[in-house]
Amino acid sequence: MSETGSMVDHAGMPASRHGPLDGLSLPGQTDFSVSRAVHAARFILRGESIHVSAFGPEVPDRLRASTAGSRAALWLGPDEFLLLAPGEDAEAIRNTLKPSLPAASTALVDVSHRQIGLTLEGRLAARCLSAGCPLDLGLASFPIGMATRTIYLKTEIVLWRQGDARFHVEVWRSFAPYLVGHLADALRGTNGL
């Protein structure tokens, strides 16, 4: 999914937008592939956990994600949740979810353009992530459905295990080439083993 497109800037001149990974070659092997995730709308919800249910998915447990259809809610902290949805839902979330929340005790912030979502798939996905992430990514200690904010070398990421060999990673867009470059390096370091 590319963000490149033609637009017009404030002065009416043609302008173009480049996605953070445009022009980079992403690992695409069966053993390990990196691709843009389907979720393009993302919000941070601060406040009581009960307000997550207005978004769709049920309230996620500590260090877990919950999903409902194409929407997902990730527990980041006791009062902080990352809400993911397809790009076309962004407008509806801004227009319906935001007004339904108590303004004094909650905050819903659109961070769609702050970070990007990546899907990491394949037999070697956990090993490549382990090259930079200090958490134990074994299935016993990082089971399917677990989600947390953590770090990969020098960049902060949100890591969500969607399957045995499938991860969703959120990274700030300016750090995305750094992350993807290191993951490609890590893949070479595994020698396919």
- Which residues sit at the interface with other proteins, rule CB under 8 A? 62-63, 76-78, 80, 134-135, 148-151, 156
> Alpha helix (H) ranges present in the chain?
90-92, 98-100, 125-130, 176-190
Which CB atom, from 36 or from 149, has the smaller least distance to other proteins? 149
Give the shortest CB-90-to-other proteins separation in angstroms.
24
Which CB atom, from 40 or from 65, has the smaller least distance to other proteins? 65
Which CB atom, from 40 or from 83, has the smaller least distance to other proteins? 83
What's the CA gap between 128 and 188, in Å, rounded? 9
Give the shortest CB-156-to-other proteins separation in angstroms.
5
CB–CB of 177/21 below 8 Å? yes
The two three-digit tokens of residue 57, written as one number: 């998915």
CB–CB of 51/101 below 8 Å? yes
Strand 115-121 to strand 166-172: parallel, antiparallel, or no bridges (unpaired)? Answer: antiparallel
Give the shortest CB-158-to-other proteins separation in angstroms.
10
Which CB atom, from 1 or from 151, has the smaller least distance to other proteins? 151
Give the shortest CB-141-to-other proteins separation in angstroms.
9
Give the shortest CB-10-to-other proteins separation in angstroms.
36
94: closest CA among 173, 41, 170? 41
Which CB atom, from 48 or from 80, has the smaller least distance to other proteins? 80
21: closest CA among 186, 175, 188, 187? 175
CB–CB of 3/17 below 8 Å? yes
The residue written with tokens 């890590």 in the block is: 186
CB–CB of 125/95 below 8 Å? no
Which CB atom, from 38 or from 44, has the smaller least distance to other proteins? 44
Give the shortest CB-150-to-other proteins separation in angstroms.
6
